[in-house]
């Protein structure tokens, strides 16, 4: 997958099928949109995603927003879906003020060579977000591109949106999160050395420290699947600060993997969350913690 982050590298010679969107969380609505450009690959068009960096929400509000997908997770997801080109359009005071019609003519058509454009019915772009689906439709015949406008996808009679997904994750509703995303929620990262407490109580874990802006579900224990390379393993994951050990612990994601004894320090793993087992608890002593972990292991494996 080709990744473009600079304006002077937008000049694409191949004909493209472009999906425009924020893609701040790749949910089922986004996947419906992406399916339209992926279908065009059979006609020789390059499946191209056009999104913004930072997101319009972050840029205009002026502060960071919890991320459903980190940058690395988003790139991996687009690549696995079959996207050929990812444009992360640099959003700043100058580019945000681009005239909407110029945006379509110069950026989408002249530089991205779009022969097909797919967008949501609520698409907005250009100065003050004045560019919309009506403008795309009006310019379509003149600029010789095919246009596909996608209506909002609904689940349980309610529109699917990144905000709704965030709320589901924050509530710890992993079932609804999966329905909205079309896949289970996951947390990825490089396995790091922890305090090795797990080894001392007979429950060794693999540990990752998620970025501060990665949206996490409520602290506690979850049944999980761990993806390491092309292999998958069942596990039990604790998300939180380990209050029994120290109140100053960083928020971590530590996973006990069933029947596993490999050294994976430094490797990239993906922890896929299944169901909530119990909330985070501060125990009076390590013996209570050890007994509870043994019970958690039994409870988590029963949830698969």
- Same domain as 24, residue 79: yes
205 inside domain: yes
In Å, how far are 13, 74, 192, 204, 276 from 263, measured between CA atoms? Answer: 46, 27, 11, 11, 27
> What is the CATH number for 19?
3.40.50.620
> What is the CATH number for 222?
2.40.30.30
15 — pLDDT class (breaks 50, 70, 90): very high
What is the spatial distance between Cα 75 and Cα 251, in angstroms, rounded to a whole number? 24
List the structure tokens of 116. 């097909």
Number of domains in the chain: 2
CB atoms inside a 10 Å sphere around CB 200: 11
8 inside domain: no
- In terms of residue numbers, what domain contains 141? 13-159
175 inside domain: no
Q: Which of 159, 176, 211 is the last residue of a domain?
A: 159
Beta strands 114-120 and 16-20: pairing type? parallel
pLDDT in tens, 122-131: 999 999 889 9
101 inside domain: yes
pTM: 0.88
- Same domain as 19, residue 149: yes
179 inside domain: no
- Beta strand residue intervals within 151-280, DSSP E: 154-155, 158-159, 186-190, 206-208, 220-228, 231-240, 252-257, 268-279
- Same domain as 118, residue 197: no
174 inside domain: no
- Same domain as 86, residue 126: yes
- Same domain as 242, residue 138: no
pLDDT in tens, 211-234: 888 999 999 999 999 999 999 999
Q: Which of 142, 159, 176 is the last residue of a domain?
A: 159
Q: Which of 104, 126, 159 is the last residue of a domain?
A: 159
Query: Please, is 157 exposed, middle or buried when counting C-beta atoms within 10 Å of its C-beta (0-12, 13-18, 19+)?
Result: exposed
82 inside domain: yes
- Same domain as 79, residue 189: no
Output the CA angle 30-121-35, nearest 5 degrees. Answer: 35
pLDDT in tens, 155-191: 999 999 999 999 999 999 999 999 999 999 999 999 9
What is the spatial distance between Cα 261 and Cα 281, in angstroms, rounded to a whole number? 27
- Same domain as 255, residue 142: no
pLDDT for residue 136 is more than 70: yes
pLDDT in tens, 36-69: 999 999 999 999 999 988 777 777 776 677 899 9
- Same domain as 198, residue 148: no
- Same domain as 154, residue 190: no
Give the DSSP H/E element, type plus range, for residue 29.
helix 28-39
Q: Which of 226, 188, 209 is nearest to 304 (CA)?
A: 226
5 inside domain: no
pLDDT in tens, 234-265: 999 999 976 555 555 688 899 999 988 888 99
* Percent of all residues in the chain with a pLDDT value above 70, rounded to a whole number: 92
- Same domain as 202, residue 104: no
- Same domain as 264, residue 227: yes
Give the DSSP H/E element, type plus range, for residue 295.
helix 286-302
Contact of 226 with 233, CB cutoff 8 Å: yes
Q: What is the pLDDT, as a whole number, of residue 128?
A: 86
- Same domain as 212, residue 147: no
């Amino acid at each position: 997958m080709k990744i473009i982050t600079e304006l002077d590298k937008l000049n694409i010679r191949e004909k493209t099928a472009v999906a425009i969107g924020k893609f701040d969380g790749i949910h089922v609505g986004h996947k419906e949109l992406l399916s339209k450009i992926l279908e065009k690959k059979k006609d020789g068009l390059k499946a191209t995603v056009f999104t913004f960096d930072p997101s319009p929400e972050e840029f205009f509000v002026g502060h960071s927003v919890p991320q459903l997908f980190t940058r690395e997770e988003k790139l991996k997801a687009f690549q696995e879906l079959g996207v050929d080109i990812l444009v992360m359009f640099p959003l700043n005071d100058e580019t945000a003020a681009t005239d909407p019609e110029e945006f379509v003519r110069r950026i989408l058509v002249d530089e991205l060579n779009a022969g097909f454009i797919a967008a949501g019915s609520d698409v907005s772009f250009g100065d003050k977000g004045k560019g919309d689906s009506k403008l795309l439709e009006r310019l379509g015949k003149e600029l010789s591109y095919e246009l596909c406008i996608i209506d909002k996808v609904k689940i349980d009679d309610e529109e699917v949106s990144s905000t709704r997904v965030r709320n589901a994750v924050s509530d710890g509703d992993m079932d609804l999160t999966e329905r909205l995303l079309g896949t289970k929620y996951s947390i990825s990262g490089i396995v790091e050395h922890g305090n090795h407490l797990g080894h001392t109580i007979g429950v060794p874990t693999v540990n990752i420290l998620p970025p501060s802006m990665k949206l996490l579900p409520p602290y506690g224990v979850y049944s999980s699947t761990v993806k390491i390379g092309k292999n998958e393993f069942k596990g039990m994951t604790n998300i939180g600060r380990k209050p029994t050990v120290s109140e100053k612990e960083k928020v971590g994601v530590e996973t006990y993997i069933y029947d596993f004894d490999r050294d994976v320090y430094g490797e990239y793993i993906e922890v896929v969350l299944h169901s909530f087992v119990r909330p985070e608890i501060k125990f009076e002593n390590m013996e209570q913690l050890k007994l509870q972990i043994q019970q958690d292991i039994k409870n988590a494996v029963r949830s698969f």
